[in-house]
Chains A and B, each alone.
Chain A
């Protein structure tokens, strides 16, 4: 197939070549790349901020930056990494690029809304980063808990609220678009239970986005009233209630963890079958476990608040509900292991990152179940144990999948392969650096080192220094990656349309794909995971009309 779009009306309206990535393009693939590149820019900014934190914590005294700066840096680090890197990249980036292919559409349901959603992100990011240089950034952490957020400098906090409201709005618009696209835009003949798993993950994620993000928006509006108009919603001095803020905040921010992780589950479900040449194991159970995580994810938020004076019945309910989430999550992990089991594994960079994701996330999941238990949580609440757990989920989980996905889909994005040797070097440095950085933080937390401090007891020095060395390795690991993605775009080996011999729809067109995805009609892919299936058996199925794969995980 050649790249050509003879009849495309966008040709005459939109800038061509690299310029279109700086335009208000309505093409879902351009918007997807815009999300990805913007996200990576903020990843490096957020990473530099993390570098400042680890440099400060390399010694027990506060000597690298001032304490106010340290607070600003940790607030910006959390906000940038969550709202400007993970959420936009795994949802907006890969979602926009892949979902229309997977449902057999030429674009998203609402292309204009899609572009609007993306273009809300750069101003929000500029506001947030700019606040550091102009007004002084917010200092109350990414949670912005009152009364801390009411007593720290007001201007930075208000800019932070405006920025997060913009990003939340962008996220809601994206969610509406994904729900409409997956449910309503499937090509004729394509059934819901034939969709690649990432569609289900994005459907579940988008339901969470639409149900929970508005609550955060409303809460931040009330918080801004407290700051600007001196109302007392969350101000105890004026008769307000800080715990209500925490409830409303976590009603969004716990589902936000699934908003960051479910798409990664979906992406890894695409990558593993292709590189192990086996059908995705347990498709149906995968779908139902995603839906179970969506439902349970909405009723577990108060496990973040076990030390906020929550009554015993509430602790009991939220401990049990949280522990239940381990069941659907565990089902997914066993399904992935069963997908790998006996497969013809290609241990390339995409696969290495995906397998490391399984290892890291299981560890983060185990500490998560531990944290759900009230007696344990009270012991380690607000310590580095929580920091370690969280980064195992979000970095070891989602960021590893983002890298796996870049190695996997880069040939589709650019038409060229990434260099495998550099990819493996990147993986090795990231994997060692990541574990070196975050594993010691569990020990620190168990021994009582609180989070969000610039100074600590000198007995914690060695573990903190190990952690800082790990962070340095992670910083170094981005060099081969950056070199690889920048140089391979021009000098990489030409990929061809389908370098992985994959069956999912995005590989059944040219690389990079034409503007409206396919020349001619979209293909009907009923078996996106039909790897390793005997050709004879397929013809038997066609002749007899019997489903030979019922119960084998292949639909």
Chain B
């Protein structure tokens, strides 16, 4: 059985249906790009997959996957930009879901947090203040935090928004490495070129949503149509 299966999902708000009857299956080790224009409900879909909100119809079934094995990297909020916290404190907060009734983090969790920081090359920044970091560094810190929460699945919401091309490429490299180690990746992005390069599957969300493998997607007119449009808007 698939790791995450969506069955006949209807997504939207009480007075607005974004799309109907979306079904797909995500298997272990998949690298899924979620593509669609602004306002089509990509973030809403992610929140539904995470169980943060209920779909209007249909259901999300996970196979032996508990919430604490899924890491979520939300879009950055305004609050975070001037947050007075050290990198170490933020990465460690990735374990907050596993604290349960315990008030403090264990020595083992602190060690794992250090390892996560090393993995993304931010261990040197451990005692630096989050708000003094560059956008790329901040995103790597958040990725390290998410890794503390996730052991199986990583959901990311426009993680490269606002990063320069060099840092973006570096970020994709890190994610690809994680994927290579068996982590299932679901990423919202507008970056068609990256989707072409890294994705195994593409979930295209528009009036008529579809879940296909990458090759199928780009062979159909759909992907090309979108890339032309996005190419135009960038030029």
A binds B: no
A binding-site residues for B, Cβ under 8 Å: none
